[in-house]
Amino acid sequence: MSDTSLLVLDGLLVISLVTLAWTALAGSDARRSVILFMAFGLVLAAAWVRLLAPDVALAEAAIGAGLAGALLLAAVREQSRQPLPARIVSKRSHNKPGVNIALQWAVSVLCAVLAGTLAWALAHALNSAPQNALPRAVSANLEASGVSNPVTAVLLNFRAYDTLLELAVLLTAVLGIFALGPARPGYQSAGPVFDGLARWLVPVLILTAGYLLWVGAHAPGGAFQAGATLAAASVVLRLAGRHQIGLPQGPALRVVMAAGVGMFVLVGLGLLVAGRPFLGYPPPWAGGLILMIESAATLAIAATLVLAFLGGQPRPLAVRVARGRIAATPIPTGKPVSPEGIRSTEPHAAEACHRIQETQKRC
Amino acid sequence: MIDVLSALLVLAGVGFYLTGSIGLLRLPDLYSRLHALTKADNLGLGLLVAGLALHSQELLTVLKLLLIWLAVLAASAASAHLIARHARRQETTS
Amino acid sequence: MTELLIGLVATPLTGALVTMLLPRFATSVAIAAGVLTTVAAGTLLYGVGTRGALGYDIGGWTAGLGIALRADGLSALLLMMNALVMLAASVYASAYFSKTAERARFWPLWLLLWTALNALLLSGDLFNLYVTLELLGLSAVALASLGNKTAAVQAALRYLLVGLLGSMLFLAGVSLIYAGYGTLDMASLAHVAQAGPIVWPALALMTVGLLLKTALFPLHFWLPPAHASAPAPVSAVLSALVVKASFYLVLRLWLDVFAEAVTPAAASLLGVLGAGAVLWGSWRALRAERLKLLAAYSTVAQLGYLFLFFPLLQALPPGSARDLAVGGLIILALTHGFAKAGLFLAIGIIQQRSGHDTIRELDGTAQRLPATTFAIALGGVALIGLPPSGTFLGKWHLLVAAFTTGQWWWVVVAVIGSLLAAAYIFRVLGHAFGHRAYPNQPVAIAREEWPALLLGVTAAVLMGLAGAPLWRLLEGGA
Amino acid sequence: MLTAQWLYGMSGCLIAALGLRTALLHACLLHRLIGINLTGAGVFMVLIAVAYRGAGMPPDPVPHALVLTGIVVAVSATALALALARRLTAEQIND
């Protein structure tokens, strides 16, 4: 199809994106904003399919909209359940309204200037002839990269060093989260319908993850999309109220977390010892080495994303034999969470928002 | 002939989508909106998928389309159930 | 030789993984990784000194398609400072964190921070720099929150949000550059980038993002709480190294990659903000009630001096006068790194021994902790800029450049800043040298006091003597 | 210049600025985080628009890889920020 015939679709997508972004940002109801943000992510994924970026679209749908949304929603839910200390509520912001309005105007003008400059510079860049030297170099060297999907070639061969550091960023975030405290308590069973869905969905998700990992070499997919899908399977189990969600325990968990960066460094240093440059795969081996790195990275990405969703180090499980089958339940640490506590009425989500605001003070 | 049928199916699907969206906007309470949304979207997507399947050349594509429909069916049924249950709990506790 | 460049990233990264997998041996593994990294940094400095700038193409792909690491005199010197300060702070931290659980949390993040610092200084690719900035930001935030008190967590959260905004602005600039020039390799950009409607907005966005991370006045609001509430070894490297890393990038972009596009007005704007930082930071340091807060505001002020050089460098024609000024700028940055790290470590000792760091109640510290007090004094000498400290050399060249270019007003700022620095340092020492008598023991706690002392000596004495070889290195390596 | 590039690129600029405004002004942490994420999404839109070469032409894969990296980095940072906020709430309730 030609570009002009897609113009209507383009217009619709762009209008929905801007509207969704605007409505997600306006207002004070946190839950509403998060849901709109997730919708924005899904429409963005559609826009990226339209712009012939299916790899990115998959990642955006799974990570940008899916897992980031799940993280934010879990935060909203938790905030709206906290018992409300009177002191925090009474301490509303006491900024002078005049100063606030001036500040709001100043920042708004600044952002408008920013949008204008960005757009102006972008218009100049788009008006000049497109820079095709780099994409040409990518396709010229695709043969030697070991994979035929150019995005995977860039991610895991030409710019593999970026991906290595990116996995280090993911690891850093989880280590930082671990240092802040234990995981949030688990969920109750969400009822038979969701349970049935989970039973059906989880194997499909695991299968899809394996497929995405494998297919990434020559078609849209790869370690990040696969890892996110695998993580989604665990998150679904968690939401269904299961205690065992596929995460290993103790030292094994640390090994899985470190696997992505570890495999990268091992391969890189191994090649260095063998007289090749760091991460300079010999072309006949490149495909295999990339798949090896991607497999380890998929597990590490899945584990770290799940741990980020749990919000801390999972509590150790005590295995006990119940009704003839092995059941694992978390050893209670700290205050036990009563089902009543969970089922109690939820204050409006906007209130949750204010509570976070107070904890944040004037920042 | 097949083209006409396919176009009719797609159009019907779009019609259901439109009805569902109007229902979502106009109906008075959560349950009826949910009803409008899930029923219409499932049927709408089903007709859309059927129309596109008629249009496609390969069996694999047809299977993929069918899978999409089934996945959406399951997800929308489960989420409609969860939303409705949550709403009813809130009513009974408050 | 060039493998050293990737080794400087891979060593601390591997160390981080090993400390994570073997928490029981974390301290020894981390110190070993630290020593190795320091040796590598020293060898690299020697290599750059003898052979000139070095480069390494990762994966063997030519820069542009792949990512290149590069080290010249400037980055090799900063890498060396990083290594020395990180190593000293590591030895200190091995005593500071006593519980096994604390250590297991601390060391992996610490080594990831070191990885990020090295990767940032070596990177030759704009997008790779964005990733290293994020790695640096997240590891710094995670470490800063280890204080685990409400104040520390709150400051860390604000630090994270500011850092994220900074990186987003930087990334927006990088996107514009890619849209306009189709490459991210800084060396090729230096050849093709021209002043114009693409480079100006891009450079402005990247610079604002980096200034937010460097905490240049008036974007410094997040720094004092974050640096003052973190654990002592973390405060030391946040103040000495982390803000310096984003400053290094500003320097790289303005003097190297996009030098063509920089206008005198833009450089003067940075100078004015620098002057604001010197005056405001020094004033707030003088008024601070807690030692750590004083040190944090002093960082705001000292970063300001570095920005005073920008209008001068813009006005000086290429030649020996400009090279001398660049050298002065770098020696100022290096000395501040050593001095501030030593100061924060010493403050940490006082805080741990007496349970507080209130300046009014320091009475008798000089008798109880003579070595610690001496370390504070040495750091103070360097912060004020008394001879023979490196700061003295740096400020001297600032003055020379200011008079050569006829921009004498920067001299006034520098002099007022130095007087204020003298006032806040002597205020601390005045309280510390109380008259109460205590049993005398020169170095009370070796593993914590020696690192602080050595950093102080480096800043106050060695950096002053290092002037000549340093300039040679910069000329050869640039 | 392609219309699609122009459309998506410009709305990316707009969304980035809207996100930045909320990130700076909104009192609620969750909104600020959404703002930062949308700023990122706007910048990513610019990059993907730059990569587009027209229907039927293979796009430039490099920005695609960059955006993939950026998405993962953004979710890591969001997760850390939420964990810090959770800790902070817990502290304040305990006090």
Mind listing the pLDDT tens digit for each residue in D27-61?
788 999 999 999 999 999 999 999 998 888 899 99
Instruction: Report the gap between the CA of D50 and the closest CA in chain C (Å).
Output: 6
Whole-number pLDDT of residue D89? 84
Burial class (CB in 10 A: 0-12, 13-18, 19+), D76: buried
pLDDT of A332 over the 60 cut: no
Say yes or no for a CB contact (<8 Å) between C134 and D40. Answer: no
User: Touching check for A134 and chain D: CB below 8 Å?
Assistant: yes
Say yes or no for a CB contact (<8 Å) between D17 and A111. Answer: yes
Instruction: Report the gap between the CA of A339 and the closest CA in chain C (Å).
Output: 29
Whole-number pLDDT of residue A334? 43
Say yes or no for a CB contact (<8 Å) between D84 and C141. Answer: yes
Residue in C closest to A258 by C-alpha: C17
pLDDT of A325 over the 90 cut: no
Confidence of residue A40 (pLDDT cuts 50, 70, 90): very high
**From A193, A204, A343, residue closest to B78, measured CB to CB:** A193
Q: Which residue in the block uniquely carries the two structure tokens 């992996």?
A: C108
Residues of the domain holding B24 = 2-93
pLDDT mean over B14-42: 86
Contacts of D47 in chain A (CB under 8 A): none
pLDDT of A278 over the 60 cut: yes
A328 forms beta bridges with A319
pLDDT of C331 over the 50 cut: yes
The Cα-based distances of A239 to A243, A331, C64 in angstroms read 10, 19, 45
Residues A206, A78 share a domain: no
Whole-number pLDDT of residue C354? 82
* C65, C113, C136, C189, best to mutate vs chain A, most A CBs in 10 Å: C65
pLDDT mean over A98-117: 87
pLDDT tens sequence across A217-243: 888 889 999 999 999 999 999 888 887
* H-assigned helices in A154-282: 160-179, 192-215, 223-239, 250-273
Whole-number pLDDT of residue C440? 54
Helix (H, G, I), strand (E, B) or coil at C466: coil
Residue C197, phi then psi, degrees to nearest 5: -70, -10
Confidence of residue A324 (pLDDT cuts 50, 70, 90): very low
Confidence of residue D1 (pLDDT cuts 50, 70, 90): low
User: Touching check for C198 and chain D: CB below 8 Å?
Assistant: no
Confidence of residue A141 (pLDDT cuts 50, 70, 90): very high
Residues A338, A222 share a domain: yes
pLDDT tens sequence across C397-433: 899 999 888 888 999 999 999 999 999 999 888 888 8
Whole-number pLDDT of residue A361? 36
% of chain B with per-residue pLDDT over 70: 99
A&C contacts, CB < 8 Å: 161
User: Touching check for C218 and chain A: CB below 8 Å?
Assistant: no
Q: Which of A189-203, A343-357, D10-24 has the lowest mean pLDDT?
A: A343-357
Domain count across chain B = 1
pLDDT tens sequence across C170-184: 999 999 999 999 999
| Nearest residue to B34 via CA among B69, B94, B86, B70 | B86
% of chain C with per-residue pLDDT over 70: 96
pLDDT of A250 over the 50 cut: yes
pLDDT tens sequence across C102-158: 888 999 999 999 999 999 999 999 999 999 999 999 999 999 998 768 888 999 999
pLDDT of A292 over the 70 cut: yes
Neighbouring chains to C with at least 3 Cβ pairs closer than 8 Å: A, D
Q: DSSP letters of C258-281?
A: TGGG--HHHHHHHHHHHHHHHHHH
Residues A153, A53 share a domain: no
User: Touching check for D1 and chain C: CB below 8 Å?
Assistant: no
**From C127, C142, C183, residue closest to A162, measured CB to CB:** C127
Instruction: Report the gap between the CA of D69 and the closest CA in chain C (Å).
Output: 8
E strands, chain A, in order:
317-322, 325-330
Instruction: Report the gap between the CA of B16 and the closest CA in chain A (Å).
Output: 19
pLDDT tens sequence across A294-311: 999 999 999 999 999 998
Confidence of residue C439 (pLDDT cuts 50, 70, 90): low
pLDDT of A359 over the 60 cut: no
User: Touching check for A182 and chain D: CB below 8 Å?
Assistant: no
Q: How is chain C split into domains, by residue range?
A: 1-119, 125-262, 263-478
Confidence of residue C362 (pLDDT cuts 50, 70, 90): confident
Domain count across chain D = 1
Neighbouring chains to B with at least 3 Cβ pairs closer than 8 Å: A
% of chain A with per-residue pLDDT over 90: 52
Query: How many angstroms separate the CA atoms of B83 and D82, rounded?
Result: 25
Instruction: Report the gap between the CA of D36 and the closest CA in chain C (Å).
Output: 7
pLDDT of A88 over the 50 cut: no
Whole-number pLDDT of residue C478? 43
pLDDT of C30 over the 90 cut: yes
Residue C383, phi then psi, degrees to nearest 5: -70, -40
Query: How many angstroms separate the CA atoms of C123 and C8, rounded?
Result: 12
pLDDT mean over B4-21: 90
pLDDT of A92 over the 70 cut: no
The Cα-based distances of A236 to A230, A240, A297, A309, C350 in angstroms read 10, 6, 21, 11, 50
Whole-number pLDDT of residue B94? 61
Contacts of D92 in chain A (CB under 8 A): 85, 88, 358-359
Neighbouring chains to A with at least 3 Cβ pairs closer than 8 Å: B, C, D
Query: How many angstroms separate the CA atoms of C230 and C145, rounded?
Result: 7
Residues of the domain holding D30 = 3-94
Query: How many angstroms separate the CA atoms of C391 and C426, rounded?
Result: 17
pLDDT mean over B21-46: 85
Instruction: Report the gap between the CA of A206 and the closest CA in chain B (Å).
Output: 15
pLDDT of C444 over the 70 cut: no
Is residue B74 within 8 Å of residue A197, measured between CB atoms? yes
pLDDT of D8 over the 90 cut: yes
Say yes or no for a CB contact (<8 Å) between A10 and D4. Answer: yes
How, if at all, do strands C54-57 and C68-71 pair?
Answer: antiparallel
Residues A164, A63 share a domain: no
C130-149 burial string, b = 16+ CB within 10 Å, else e?
bbbbbbbbbbbbbbbbbbbe
Say yes or no for a CB contact (<8 Å) between D23 and C165. Answer: yes
pLDDT tens sequence across C73-98: 999 999 999 999 999 999 999 999 88
Write out the two tokens for C208.
């604002």
**From D6, D79, D93, residue closest to A177, measured CB to CB:** D79
Give me chain D's average pLDDT, please.
91
Chains C and B touch (3+ CB pairs under 8 A): no
Residues A268, A192 share a domain: yes
**From D47, D87, D95, residue closest to C153, measured CB to CB:** D87
Residues 86 through 105 of chain C touching chain D, CB cutoff 8 Å: none
Residue A289, phi then psi, degrees to nearest 5: -65, -40
pTM equals 0.92
Residues A3, A150 share a domain: no
Contacts of C176 in chain D (CB under 8 A): 46
Say yes or no for a CB contact (<8 Å) between C141 and D50. Answer: no
Q: Return the axis-axis angle of helices A68-81 and D61-94, rounded to nearest 10°.
A: 10
Chains B and D touch (3+ CB pairs under 8 A): no
Residues A176, A47 share a domain: no
Confidence of residue C390 (pLDDT cuts 50, 70, 90): confident
Q: Which of A199-203, A353-357, C370-374 has the lowest mean pLDDT?
A: A353-357
Residue in A closest to C12 by C-alpha: A265
Query: How many angstroms separate the CA atoms of A237 and A194, rounded?
Result: 10
Q: Which of B52-66, C24-38, C58-72, C426-440 has the lowest mean pLDDT?
A: C426-440
Confidence of residue C443 (pLDDT cuts 50, 70, 90): low
pLDDT of C202 over the 80 cut: yes
pLDDT mean over C266-285: 94
Give me chain B's average pLDDT, please.
87
A28 occurs within a structural domain:
yes
Give me chain A's average pLDDT, please.
82
Whole-number pLDDT of residue A109? 93
Whole-number pLDDT of residue C476? 58
| Nearest residue to A255 via CA among A363, A247, C285, A229 | A247
Confidence of residue C335 (pLDDT cuts 50, 70, 90): very high
Whole-number pLDDT of residue A152? 93
Say yes or no for a CB contact (<8 Å) between D88 and C150. Answer: yes
Give me chain C's average pLDDT, please.
90
Instruction: Report the gap between the CA of B63 and the closest CA in chain A (Å).
Output: 15
% of chain C with per-residue pLDDT over 90: 64
Q: Which of A70-74, B19-23, C161-165, C432-436 has the lowest mean pLDDT?
A: C432-436
E strands, C13-169, in order:
54-57, 68-71
Neighbouring chains to D with at least 3 Cβ pairs closer than 8 Å: A, C
Write out the two tokens for C389.
């400290």
Say yes or no for a CB contact (<8 Å) between A180 and C145. Answer: yes
